[in-house]
Amino acid sequence: MARRVLSLWLPGLATDRLARREPALRRSPLVTVVGDRGRMIVASANAIAESAGIQPGMTLADARALEPAIRPVDADFPADARALDGLADWCGRYTPWIGLDSPDGIFLDITGCGHLFGGEAALLDGLTGRLDGFGYGSRAAIADTPGAAWAMARHGAERYAIVRPGQGRQALAGLPVEGLRLPAETSAGLRRVGMRRIGDLYAMPRAGITARFGAVVTRRLDLALAISPEPISPRRPVPPHIVRTAFAEPISTPENLTVATRHLLDDLCAGMERAGQGARRLDLGFFRVDGRVERSSVGTSRPVRTPPHLARLFAEKLDRVEPGPGVEIMILAATTEPLGAVQTTMQVGSPALFAGEREEEAELVDRLGNRLGLPRVRRLLPRESWWPENNVEQAAALDGPGPKADQAAPWPSDRFRPVRLLTRPEPIHVMAPVPDDPPMMFRWRDVPHKVAHAEGPERLEPEWWRELTEMRDYYRVEDLAGRRFWVYRAGLYQQDRAARWYLHGVFP
């Protein structure tokens, strides 16, 4: 399939952005200005100002001499960049492969996308027509390469042009050399030696051009003519699985959005099943008729392709979507990982499928993560250490089975440990008959606890490289109310000082 690229140029981006906010400015000669060494320089001008002869780079004083009614506004380049980025996001309704051509252009790789809109001509008409409706003037062209499309959009005779596949060389021949995206001094140098059109370069010896003007001329020419490849750097990673749906009439009710989401999930999961993949992250885009794009994203703790489970994750997000005047297109994209068939096992004499239990736990983690925020859901992994403070480490619950999880030691089955450990062991006052016996009573946080049962001691020592840390004798004790605690005596018994006791954990 031949590559096809659309170059979109927004020559009045800055002034159109201001006129969208204040429509009365459309009827005035409007310019944006920027300070330069004590002078005000025109940065951009709308069509009315340009018809009066005002051009970017001109001083504001000269512009006023040409048009006294001029309306100057301070240039806001960050706001212009945000507007361009928003329009690029909206262009995602046509193709997922969008690249910025700052400060006022966008590249769309529409290879294989034309048939979705009735052909390239219909796609181009729809895109530019909608931009006109939003208040943005534009020029656009479709060609085999970004360089050729860029040249036709900015220097072609027509406002909108389509170069047929394989016809780029003929289409570029009559365009000025500035269409090769050359530095201004290089273009001026070519004109001085009589090479004013791109076609004038075709028959010229490349060695002579390179010797006089550098390699930039032949490099740009090769890119425009598809002799050398020119990739488009996408502004967002392009996911491997994408499904879309367009509506005959815009939808806005939560019920319709929910039904459309479920249909998209069914199609997406069917495609992932054929590819042996499962979703780890899903992004759902709602393209509104007013040009805004609403987005909703969910993540999963492991690869998933079960539509009901994914629909439950999105159900908690759809209430936050603002459909505005209506949604006309929805696009669902997924970042995936391999997900093959799983062999399940069943315990003899029990109907419980352990794989099914793990799946339910994973679904719970997904729901909590998407409700509370992905970084806030954590899981505990065992660490090889006898010291209680060091034998557990935290990991993100939504992370896949990476090296940390695969290499972690198994949870020990021969040591009974409390579910909850205190952040730091807290000192307690203990009554014990002899130094090596368990406590008979202890006071913790000014509350007395009389011990009914006790088990221990279990002596724990830190790793040898941890200096100045003494051994501990741990006991599991239960008071008369049935509450169970994990307490320890620090260090060996010494006659010249009282034993130091601490409470370290609480059993359920």
pLDDT tens, position by position, 115-133: 989 999 999 999 999 999 9
Residue 438: which pLDDT band, with cuts at 50, 70 and 90? Answer: confident
Residue 178: which pLDDT band, with cuts at 50, 70 and 90? Answer: very high
Lowest mean pLDDT, pick from 193-202, 376-385, 399-408, 476-485: 399-408
pLDDT tens, position by position, 69-87: 999 999 999 999 999 999 9
Average pLDDT estimate for 427-450: 88
Q: Which of 143, 141, 142, 151 is nearest to 221 (CA)?
A: 151
Report the pLDDT value the prediction gives residue 357, as an integer from 0 to 100: 45
Neighbours of 255 (CB within 10 A): 9
298 with 280: CB under 8 angstroms? no
Which residue segments constitute the domains of the chain, with CATH numbers given?
1-28+70-238 (3.30.70.270), 241-338 (3.30.1490.100), 378-407 (no CATH), 420-506 (no CATH)
pLDDT tens, position by position, 287-316: 999 999 999 999 888 899 999 999 999 988
How many degrees, rounded to 5, is the angle at CA 190 between CA 189 and CA 195? 155
Report the pLDDT value the prediction gives residue 161, as an integer from 0 to 100: 97
The answer to whether residue 359 scores a pLDDT higher than 70 is no
Neighbours of 212 (CB within 10 A): 12
Written in H, E and C, the secondary structure of 145-197 is CHHHHHHHHHHCCCCEEECCCCCHHHHHHCCEHHHHCCCHHHHHHHHHCCCCE
pLDDT tens, position by position, 89-110: 999 999 999 999 999 999 999 9
Q: Which of 371, 426, 425, 366 is nearest to 397 (CA)?
A: 366
Average pLDDT estimate for 423-452: 89
> Is the backbone of residue 272 left (phi > 0), alpha (psi -120 to 50) or beta?
alpha
Report the pLDDT value the prediction gives residue 398, as an integer from 0 to 100: 55
Query: In whole numbers, what is the pLDDT of the chain averaged over residues?
Result: 88
The answer to whether residue 435 scores a pLDDT higher than 70 is no
Q: Please give the helix or strand (H or E) that residue 242 lies within, else none.
A: strand 241-251
